[in-house]
Structure formats: C-alpha cells, structure tokens
Structure 1
Amino acid sequence: MVQRTKSLNVAVVGAGITGLTLAAALRRAGVDCEVYERTPAFGRIGAGIQLAPNATRLLHQLGLADPLSRVAVRSTAIEVRSGETGALSGRVPLDDCEDRFGAPYCLLTRADLHSLLASAVPEGTVRFGKACQSLDETPEGVEIRFTDGTSARADVVVGADGIRSGVRQGRVRDEPVYSGLSVHRGLVPTDRLPSFFGEPRSTLWSGEGKHFVSYPVAAGRLVNFVATLPARQWHAESWSEPGEVADVAAAFADWDEALHTLITAAESVTRWALHTRNADLPWSTHRTTLAGDAAHPMLPFMAQGANQGIEDAFALASALAGGDPTDPAGALRRYEHARRPRALMVQQMSAGAARSFHAPDGDTTVVDALGALTDLFAHDAELLEPSP
C-alpha cells in the first residue's frame, strides 16, 4: 500500500467490522481518520462469524495474525450433511488454505473479531453516541450532523453503518425487502456437547425449505449454530432480537437427532429477519461513499458478508492513500470501480446459494454451490485496477 504523510481527513460513520477495519487500514496508510458510532459504548453482540483467507490475509497485514490465532478456530473443512439423516454428502477441504492462499479459514465470534479490530485503532479514534442525522456536502467538504445536535466536518465521509445505514438513507429512501427467511443464532459451551460438534470445521445440514450450520468458536470453548427457516415477515433488521429455543427445536424436530442435542443445550437464541436491498444504487458522490453492508447487504449463505466489508476497507484505504488529496472524487470512483463488480457477484452468489441450500435434494446441490467458494479466496483487495 502507498504510504503518505499528508492526505485527506476521513470520517467513518459506523464502528462495526467494516468501519474499524477501514480506520485501522487508513491509519496504517498515514491517513487521518475519525470514526463516529451511534451506540454509547461497544458491546459484545452477535454470535459466530467465518473469516475466509481473502479477509484473514488482510487482517494479518494489520498485525492481527497472532491475536486472531488465540481466539479463532482454524477450520479444516466445510462438511455438508443430509438434514433428515445426518449422512455426509460432501466436503470442501480448507486445511490447505495457508499453503494455497497465504492465510487460514477462521471460525470465531463476532465479538472477538470486533474487539481485535478495536485494539488496532488508537484510543480516541471512535466517538461514541454519534448517530448520523444528515450530511451536507459541498465542493469544499462534508458536514455531518448528529442527532445529539453536534456536527463534524471532513474531506470524505464513508458510510460503514450497516444494513440500516443513515448515510445510505440520506441519499435514497430504499426499503428493505423481506426474503421470506429468518435466522436463529445460538452459542453453546462445547463441554455440554458430544465431541462431534467441537471438531474444527463447519457443518451444514440441508433440506427442503431450511438449513442448519454449526461450528466451534472462541478457541474451541463454544459452538455456534445458525438455523435458517421460513418465517412470517417482521420489520426488525437486527442481529440481536430475542428468539425462542423451543421454536428452533420444533422447526428441526424431524431432522438429524444430533441437531436436537445441540439446540436444546442452548439457553437462549437471537433471531434475525433476512432482508435484501436495491443493488443498483451508486455507492459514491464526490465526497461520500458506502462500504460493507451499507453498500451491498447480502444474504449470509456464502459466509462472505464481513469478508467483503474487510475487502472494501482495504481497497478504499488504498484508493484514498494513493490518490490526489485535491481530487477525492477520483479516489472514490477508483474504489467503487474496483470493488462494485466483485461485491455484487458475491451478493448474487449468496442469493443463489439460498435456493441451492433449500432444494429438495439440498444436501447434494449444496456441495456444488460451495464448490465455488474457494474461487473467492485468492483475491487481493489492495490491487486496484485503474479506472477507465
């Protein structure tokens, strides 16, 4: 990445995974940056997350290789099983990722990843209790107005504020479209479960209309599970809305008995309504852009949402650090030109995976769908092609 001593002043709205990665990458490149977060403090929210080599390789560049290894499980494979019988249908090997792609495939909690990223930015970089209300963009800069009545100015503003992005909504009033599916997530201590669930790999049970995923996290101390099934529409776009363990157990009562053991060992679950949004929206103006879920929210079925946000962060940091400080629009065009086709491709792959995972013969079609996953791992987000 190009190193610069003088650059743009960048404001990042949102201190989630994408926003903190961007802040750390900008700091590494010598670009001034402040992050504005709507919540009053960081909390440990979310359950498990899968980081593929296309993201872990970038996090290693931030000096997080050793800290990541202490909280993550290095996955050896994704196994696909029949939902009804539990019989093994196929396997995507991942134990050679470091040799092939220069970084491991990691399983960890979202909270642990978030904590690592927070440690990679200087104290005071994140300003809490700052919910974006509106933006006023002029040729000279951007003023951010917050709901607490304060404001801030920057040369460039990046909306990394997730699926309910205030920066995005300030430009277009698109509404979330419910997918017809919901997700229930839970975490269970590994010592409460058969050893099968603690093995270092992801397991996906597939069947008609629904699927179920589990994998160990927290250096093997916990097992994360994700249950996806049809549900009536509700409006909350949230990872943390409470759910009912009994509902999950009932939905999968006629599936592999091992799932019943895992589900009933959970003390609580959260639920998440899966929505999509318009993919045709341009990300950038002259001085503002979007990144991560704010730019390209995607269904979670290829486990690439956070990975693509991390790629966005590095590509955007590279474009801003290597660009002309007097021409932020050019840097933002270069970033969007480099990232948009790939992010939208992965977005489409994730939507297609939903159909494959829930087909009547899902346990065999899922193997084919996941076969394309490793094609994403070799991408280098820092290598930006010149804009046309």
Structure 2
Amino acid sequence: MNKMANAEKKVVISGAGMGGLATALGLARKGVQVAVYEQAPAHRELGAGLWISINGARVLNDLGLGPDLEKINLPPIDRVVRLWNTAQAWSVYNKGAENSKEHTLYMVLRYELHRILLSALEKAQPGCIHLDHKCIGYDETNDGVTVHFEGKPSVKADVLIGADGVHSKVRQQMFGEVRQNFTNAIAWRGLVPIERISEKYRTPMATTWVGPTAHITSYPVQHDGRQFISFSGQVDSQQWEQESWSEPGELEACLGDFEGWHEQVIEMISGADVLYKWGLFVRDELPTWARGHVALAGDACHSMVPYLGQGVNLAFEDSCVLVNVLTGDQGIESALQQYDALRRERGYKVARASMDMLRVFHHADLGKEQRARSYIEKQWSKEKVRERYDWIVSYNALTVGV
C-alpha cells in the first residue's frame, strides 16, 4: 500500500498507554490518519519503572526514540540474584551486555517513556490525542466503525484498535465478560529516592531477591537528574485483591509480607513515599484478537503476570505488527486477521511462560540455606537463562507481517 493509500485511512485507538501510543506513532510515521482517545482527563505521573528488553527496544528504536531513551536510561553495572534473608549474590548471564547494538536494554520510568511517546506523536501528527474521552462502545458496518464516548460526540473510522487495558470496553463488546482468574499472588511496587538508601547499598544493580513464598526485583531509574530505585515484589497470597496497579497499600502490610527478609529489602520498602498493592490475575485466552474492522492489543487481549517483565514489551511488539499489516497491500479485515494469526499464539505463549516463572522465583528450597545455593546456581545458570529468555528477546517484530 503506498503513501497516498495510507493517508486515506483513519485509525481510532482507544487508550493512550504505551501500546496505544506506539501504534499511533508507527502509523502516523507512515502517513495514516490516527486519533487516540484516552478516558483520563490528564496524563498522570505514575511512579513505576519499566524494563524494556531487547524485543521491545527494537520497536522503540525503529520509531526513532533511541536518542531520547538513551538520555533517560540508567543501565545497571550488573544483574544479580540474591537470597532473600542472607543477601548472598550470584551474577546472572546478561545477553544485553554482549557487544552488539542489537542488544539495547532500557530501564526507565514509565512517566519518562510515556512523555517521550507523547512528544513524538504530537510532532508526527499534531492534535491527534484526545483526553477525557471514555469509550463506551462502537457500531460496525461493512466499511468501518463508529466509536462512541461518554458525553462526547461519536467518531467514525476505518479501524478501531482497543488498547484500553485489562478492563477493556472494546474487548467487552467483542466477547462480553471474560473470566478473570486469581493467581493466588499479590504485587507491591514503589519508587525510592537514592538518598534514602544506605551508601553501601547504592551500587546500581538490577537485583532479583528470591525466597520460598515471595520475590522482589529492583533496578535504578532516573528523573530530572535524580536517581531512584524502582522495585516490584510478588507474594503468594490467598487473599483476593482488586486488579488495579494504582491503588495505594499500607507500609505495615508490605513489611509484613517481607518479614524476616534482609535489611536491604526492608530499607528499600520503607523508603518509598507511596506503596501500591494489587492482585495478580490472568484472563481466559480469547479465540481471536480481531473481528471485522476492530482489533485488540496489549493488556486488552494478553494481560500477564510480571514474572518475565514482558507485558509492555509484548505491547510494543503488537504495535509494530499492527503497523506492518495495516500499511501493507491488503484490505483492512484481511490485515487484522493476519495480525491475529501472527500475534495471538506468541502472546499467549509468553503469558503462559510468565505464569510458569512463579514456580522458579518462589520455591521451598530457597528457605533452606544448604539447598538454596545449588537451586539458584541451576535455575540461573547461563544455559538456563538462555533457554528461558532467548526465544522471547530474539523475536523481531520489525520483520513480522511485512
């Protein structure tokens, strides 16, 4: 499909998260008319770190964002696994440390990456982002869709992409309520100014602490010249929590979940201004991600537990493949069916692998010091790490659907 044909298309994207913005930017750079509708009345600064692995970084670099990302990136000097109560450390094989431009790895604040995407999209297609627009449904005809918003005029488009997260209204209209399944685990996250960390613990490392019933991952990030430690912990739990990653939790409860852990973990948790707590759920797999002129992307179709750190990276992969098929030489419905065929199996395979990692991070042997060493040395050996991650990060979305 040539540039003129692209310019005749209009794509509406519901959701101005990472995946939605990356999709819009990719399409805009190829001349497609895009309009992004976000239900929030303003862009919020959310204090969470993002681990952009090689497969996600490829997409961002192809969008021309590499130079801006390098300015905010704070790469760790090492990656280690530590035992929960003794802090004994094992270095982890790091593919990103190999001498290749292909192995870019970004550790950034969500707010910073969101800002970069917003700025790039506004430059590519000014005025295409519309806040305070809550999608409540759509009507579809043979030649397009009409998208409806709460208290706002409806809009017509050739394509609707539901990148509206785990509580997707677009998905709900396509499939009704999709069953959510509690994984018997909860998550905590926080952001700690580096000056609240004892000097002896300030070495900029990416660290995963592992224990018998919980684990916690931390790494350095920066904002406006200040350094922070971003951390996210997951804990086995039978207590059902709501599925919202922006609801505050109590310090006392978080410290209780990590009672007996090394002082470095306790200090880190205690240094956060705000802690957030949520339940970890997975949803039943969908039979398709596309119908007619409507498609789903990101958490709307493949929300996953964070044990492989791949949620946002898979959203970037989705965005790239959507751009590839929608700017190809086929009709819209065929293009979206191709997207589904190319992406759905991959998305659910990664989601299932993420769930399987719970049994690795939380293991009874980690509670017995004499067994913990052999367990960690086996599970985080170079061979095991490559087996676990190489098939994920080697995926090159730039070549899929072209």
Same-fold call, TM > 0.5?
Answer: yes
Deviation at 1:92, TM superposition (A): 2.5
Q: How does 1:103-142 map to 2 (within 5 A)?
A: 103-122=103-122, 123-142=126-145
Which one of 348, 352, 357 corresponds to residue 353 of structure 1?
357
Moved more, 231-240 or 170-179: 231-240
DSSP 3-state at the match of 1:177: strand
Question: How much does 1:257 deviate?
Answer: 2.0
Q: When you count helix as a share of all residues, which structure comes out higher?
A: 2
Which of residues 344, 348, 372 in structure 2 aligns to 1:344?
A: 348
In structure 2, the residue matched to 1:367 is 380
Distance 1:101 1:280, change over 3 A: farther
Question: TM-score normalized by structure 1?
Answer: 0.93
Aligned counterpart in structure 2 of residue 237 of structure 1, from 240, 243, 256: 243
Distance 2:317 2:72 in 1: 21
- Contact between 1:197 and 1:223, CA under 8 Å: does it hold in 2? no
- Aligned counterparts of 2:233 and 2:34: Cα–Cα separation in 1: 38
Secondary structure of the corresponding residue to residue 263 of structure 1:
helix
**Stretch moving more, 55-64 or 110-119:** 55-64
Q: Which residue of 2 aligns with 1:262?
A: 268
Matched letter for residue 116 of structure 1: I
CA shift at 1:251, angstroms?
A: 1.8
Confirm whether residue 330 of structure 1 aligns to residue 330 of structure 2: no
Which residue identity lines up with residue 350 of structure 1 in the other structure? S
Inter-partner Cα distance in structure 2 for 1:96 and 1:81: 20
Contact 2:184 2:240 in 1 (8 A): no
CA separation of 1:82 and 1:235: change in aligned 2, threshold 3 A: closer
| CA distance, structure 2, for counterparts of residue 150 and residue 218 of structure 1 | 40
Q: Find the partner of 1:216 among 200, 210, 220.
A: 220
Q: Which residue of 1 aligns with 2:372?
A: none
- Select the residue among 297, 305, 329 that pairs with 1:299: 305
Give how far 1:112 is off: 0.9
Partner of 2:172: 169
Share of identical aligned residues, percent? 31
Counterpart residue identity of residue 18, structure 2: I
* Whole-Å separation in 2 of the counterparts to 1:248 and 1:373: 30
Contact kept? 2:163, 2:298, Cα under 8 Å: yes
Q: Which runs of 5+ in 1 are unaligned?
A: none
Structure 1 pair 195–322 and aligned structure 2 pair: CA distance change class (3 A)? farther
CA distance in 2, matches of 1:212, 1:231: 15
CA, structure 1 residues 101+318, in 2 after alignment: closer, same or farther (shift >3 Å)? same
1:180 has 2:184 as partner: yes
1:272-309 residue CA offsets vs partner (Å, 9 max, x unmatched): 21111011331000100000111111111100100000
Q: CA deviation at 1:135?
A: 1.3
Match of 2:370 in 1: none
Q: SS where residue 5 of structure 2 aligns?
A: coil
Report how far residue 216 of structure 1 moved.
0.7
Q: In structure 1, the residue corresponding to 2:179 is in which secondary structure? A: coil
Worse overlay, 2-11 or 120-129: 2-11
**1:10 paired to 2:5:** no
Query: Is the 1:51–1:106 Cα contact (8 Å) retained in structure 2?
Result: yes
Q: CA deviation at 1:162?
A: 0.7
Distance in 2, Cα, partners of 1:150 & 1:175: 31
Partner SS for 2:327: helix
Q: Is the 8 A contact 1:177 1:275 kept in 2?
A: yes
Letter in 1 for 2:56: A
Q: Is the 1:335–1:384 Cα contact (8 Å) retained in structure 2?
A: no
5+ long unaligned stretches in structure 2: 367-374
- How far does the alpha carbon of each residue in 1:139-175 deviate from its partner, in whole angstroms, 9 at most, with x for none? 1111111111421111110000011111001112113
Report the TM-score, using the length of structure 2 for normalisation.
Answer: 0.90
1:32 corresponds to 2:36: no
| Paired letter, 2:34 | C
| 1:91 aligned residue | 92
Aligned residues: 382
Determine the C-alpha separation between the residues in 1 that align with 2:74 and 2:17.
Answer: 22
SS in structure 2 of the partner of residue 205 of structure 1: strand
Q: Give the letter for the 2:26 counterpart.
A: A
